[in-house]
């Protein structure tokens, strides 16, 4: 089947004195009949290619075997009960369960598989919050696998979902229950906001049970800028209400923290952290515990430190912050949990996790040994509980949940993911390469043991490089069929991510964003120069900000890779901020509204840098029609433009229906997506099926 011809509609505008041509702007109207008809033609073209690929049926069977297993639940303790999400092998969706005690039997609370069947479309749980006595729970359900989720309330003992519902179009987020279970604090946007600003204007509210959400009291945020967003929680003893405010309306992201003493009946919030700005993003996260307010911060400590101040001093408006865990170069503090008289601090060191247990005054009690070099993805505990749970996984170590007995100190395995693959056949390396400006950048390589470096290895290079997000060693089932056939999977830890603290992040933002692309290009060249592969056997892959990454790579170095997987891409850097929550990304990218950033963004914007008479790599562009994070029109436009200029290499657009930024929520469609993407890679790189 011939590729679709997309009509060009002449559209030009002048920005800062520069004429910008945008002939595919009409595709930004994703709900128009014309765009829908265009999508139908794209669907037919995509299916004609993907469904004919010789490796697809075999890969479908392999991914069915890999993914159709019971999921591994992570336990969240609350008042003697344990809450978790779990999907059984034969099911499509993870449901919400709890059990009485560690040895109790799982009891079903919210059956998403039943809900999906009743409603005729996938329904997914996107979050939950349990009351302090574990008698009530709020949970959010998404019906489009996107950022819109309705919030519901359940009486746990009676398994009864109560009548109230906070609708999805208000983007509610689970908050924190009051001590007496009369209601809960949460955040959502205001009801009446201008069109296009539905993801802004967020405030903190209190919802009283058995009333309408329209009567909810706004407790914080009346004077916030529309881009800024509060998060609210109540301390486990019910005394303090704490608000963290994420401020993204300024040139650099920062945070503020406020507190109210509910026991004393305070009506106004007092500042804990307020008005602190810097040359880079500043992070604060804190909570009260045993008479102190503990604070994790990057302020004057790009690797992070933990401080505390007596709560009495906060009340009196004075006092000095005491550093409990000082900044240590090379130890990037990611999070901390307080349990009884202990602080558990999770750090990222040389792109892998470390966990340490301290006393409250900062004295080290012990290092928690992991099974190897890998990633601790989460911790969970109650402030006065007797246990803490944490997870660990790595490239060759499956997702595992551990429990520490606080009083006895023992560590035990609670859950571990089943694996039907010989993990001993895998080998992982961490290598370092030199980027364009001389910066040393690390990269992980995963492949079978005794790999031959003959320049002919099929290789996929994956990257992200943005928003302070780190790519750390984790168990990834989707790469196993590729590795089994001799493939090399490479993960580059690019600037813009959080692998080496705030300075590493800042070095890949705004007018330093080209560093991210240079790092990725240098990673590809290193793989070629060191005989792992060559350009005819190399594919690159990235999604979201990673979609921007691969878009910049292919427009700047079109001959360096054979194939591209471009997921939910940020592709038009002049207009990304005009849709959904895009303005939240301005601290990382800058904005074309700013004359100082306009030229820089235009210079690398993938959509604007596709050139006539250039043949770009074969590309599979993936998006969801309900993506309310990165507007799907970005994927549509770059697909149309690439199809226009490419004469030989295929440009394929895969649009998942009723799916958001993370793709479909049901395992059946996730398997289909994995088979489509990898069969495309196999086809282009010549991997034997």
The three-state DSSP-derived secondary structure of 60-115 is HHHHHHHHCCCCCCCCEEECCEEEEEECCCCCCCCEEEEEECCCCCCEEEECHHHH
Helices (H), 449-593: 480-484, 501-506, 513-529, 545-556, 586-589
- Count CB atoms within 10 A of the CB of residue 44: 11
Selected catalytic residue, list 144, 150, 470, 544: 544
**Residues contacting 298, CB < 8 A, separation 6+:** 281, 282, 283, 304, 501, 502
Strand partners of residue 209:
none
The Cα–Cα gap between 63 and 509 comes to 37
Cα–Cα separations (whole angstroms), residue 55 to 456, 484, 682: 20, 14, 7
HSE of 520 in the Cβ direction (CA atoms, 13 Å)? 34
Q: How many CB atoms within 10 Å of residue 366? A: 10
Q: List CB contacts of 77: < 8 A, sequence separation 6 or more.
A: 380, 381, 382, 385, 387, 389
Which CB contacts under 8 angstroms, 24+ apart, belong to 575-581? Answer: 575/28, 576/630, 576/631, 576/634, 578/196, 579/28, 579/196, 579/631, 579/633, 580/198, 580/199, 580/628, 580/629, 580/630, 580/631, 581/147, 581/199, 581/200, 581/628, 581/629
Q: Which residue is it, tokens 């009260």?
A: 288
Active-site residue, selected from the candidate residues 201, 447, 661, 665: 661
**DSSP one-letter code for 616:** P
Cα–Cα distance, 671 to 652 (Å, whole number): 19
Is 661 annotated in the active site? yes
Cβ-count burial 133-170 (b if 16+ within 10 Å, e if not): ebbbbbbbbbbbbbbbbbbbbbebeeeeeeebebebeb
Closest CA to 459 of 529, 563, 351: 563
How distant, in Å, are the alpha carbons of 139, 154, 160, 409 from that of 211?
Answer: 17, 15, 17, 46
Residues 562 and 684 sit within 8 Å (Cβ to Cβ): yes
Contact 360, 382 (CB under 8 A): no
**DSSP of 2-67, one letter per residue?**
PPPPPPP---EEEETTEEEE-TTGGGG-TTSHHHHHHHHHHHHHHHHHHTT-TTHHHHHHHHHHHH
Q: How many CB atoms lie within 10 A of CB 322?
A: 13
Beta pairing partners, 651: 619
How many of the other CB atoms lie within 10 Å of CB of 416? 15
Q: State how far Cα 26 lies from the chain centre.
A: 29
Whether the Cβ atoms of residue 218 and residue 202 lie closer than 8 Å to each other: no
Residue 264 CB coordination number (10 Å): 8
Question: What six digits make up the tokens of 206?
Answer: 């209190």
Buried b (16+ CB within 10 A) or exposed e, 176-186: bbbbeeebbbb
Q: Cα separation of 132 and 236, whole Å? A: 7
What does each C-alpha distance from 359 to 338, 363, 378 come to in angstroms?
10, 5, 20
Please list the active-site residues. Answer: 544, 661
């Amino acid at each position: 089947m011939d590729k679709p011809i997309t009509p060009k509609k002449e559209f030009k505008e002048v920005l800062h004195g520069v004429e910008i041509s945008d002939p595919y702007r009409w595709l930004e109207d994703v709900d128009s009949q014309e765009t829908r008809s265009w999508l139908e033609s794209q669907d037919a073209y995509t299916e004609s290619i993907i469904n004919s690929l010789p490796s697809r049926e075999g890969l479908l069977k392999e991914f069915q075997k890999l993914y159709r297993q019971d999921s591994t639940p992570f336990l969240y303790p609350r008042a003697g009960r344990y809450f978790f999400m779990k999907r059984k092998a034969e099911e499509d969706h993870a449901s919400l369960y709890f059990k009485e005690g560690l040895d109790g039997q799982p009891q079903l609370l919210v059956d998403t598989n039943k809900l999906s069947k009743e409603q005729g479309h996938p329904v997914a749980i996107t979050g939950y919050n349990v009351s302090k006595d574990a008698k009530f729970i709020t949970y959010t359900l998404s019906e489009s696998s996107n950022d819109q989720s309705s919030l519901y309330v359940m009486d746990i003992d009676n398994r009864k979902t109560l009548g109230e519902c906070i609708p999805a179009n208000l983007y509610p987020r689970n908050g924190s229950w009051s001590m007496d279970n009369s209601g809960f604090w949460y955040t959502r946007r205001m009801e009446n906001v201008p069109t296009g600003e539905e993801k802004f204007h967020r405030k903190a509210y209190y919802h009283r049970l058995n009333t309408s959400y329209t009567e909810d009291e706004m407790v914080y945020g009346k004077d916030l800028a529309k881009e800024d967003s509060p998060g609210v929680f109540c301390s486990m003893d019910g005394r303090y209400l704490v608000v963290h405010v994420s401020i993204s309306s300024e040139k650099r992201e920062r945070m503020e923290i406020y507190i109210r003493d509910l026991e004393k009946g305070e009506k106004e919030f007092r500042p804990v952290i307020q008005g602190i700005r810097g040359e880079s993003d500043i992070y604060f996260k804190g909570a009260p515990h045993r008479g102190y307010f503990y604070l994790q911060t990057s302020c004057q400590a790009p690797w992070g430190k933990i401080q505390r101040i007596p709560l009495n001093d906060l009340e009196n408006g004075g006092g000095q912050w005491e550093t409990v865990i000082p900044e240590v170069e090379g130890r990037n503090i990611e999070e901390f949990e307080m349990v009884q008289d202990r602080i558990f601090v999770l750090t990222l060191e040389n792109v892998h996790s470390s966990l340490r247990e301290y006393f409250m005054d900062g004295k080290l009690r012990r290092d928690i040994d992991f099974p190897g070099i890998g990633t601790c993805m989460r911790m969970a505990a109650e402030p006065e509980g007797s246990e803490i749970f944490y997870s660990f996984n790595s490239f060759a170590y499956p997702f595992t949940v551990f429990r520490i007995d606080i009083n006895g100190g023992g560590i035990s395995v609670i859950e571990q993911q089943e694996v039907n693959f010989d993990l001993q056949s895998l080998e992982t390396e961490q290598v370092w390469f030199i980027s364009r400006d001389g910066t040393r950048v690390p990269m992980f390589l995963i492949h079978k043991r005794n790999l031959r470096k003959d320049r002919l290895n099929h290789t996929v290079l994956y990257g992200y490089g943005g928003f302070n997000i780190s790519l750390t060693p984790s168990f990834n089932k989707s790469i196993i069929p590729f590795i089994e056939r001799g493939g090399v999977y490479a993960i580059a830890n690019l600037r813009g991510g959080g692998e080496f603290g705030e300075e590493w992040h800042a070095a890949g933002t705004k007018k330093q964003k080209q560093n991210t692309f240079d790092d990725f290009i240098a990673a590809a060249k290193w793989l070629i120069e060191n005989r792992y592969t060559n350009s005819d056997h190399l594919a690159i892959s990235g999604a979201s900000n990673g979609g921007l990454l691969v878009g910049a790579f292919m427009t700047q170095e079109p001959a360096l890779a054979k194939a591209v997987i471009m997921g939910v891409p940020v592709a038009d850097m002049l207009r990304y901020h005009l849709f959904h929550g895009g303005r939240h990304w301005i601290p990382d990218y800058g904005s074309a509204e700013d004359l100082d950033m306009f030229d820089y963004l235009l210079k690398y914007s993938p959509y604007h840098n596709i050139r006539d008479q250039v043949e770009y790599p074969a590309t599979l562009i993936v998006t969801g029609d309900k993506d309310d994070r990165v507007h799907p029109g970005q994927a549509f436009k770059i697909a149309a433009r690439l199809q226009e200029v490419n004469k030989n290499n295929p440009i394929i657009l895969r649009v998942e229906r009723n799916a958001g930024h993370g793709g479909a929520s049901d395992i059946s469609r996730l398997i289909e997506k994995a088979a489509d993407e990898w069969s495309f890679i196999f086809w282009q790189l010549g991997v034997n099926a």
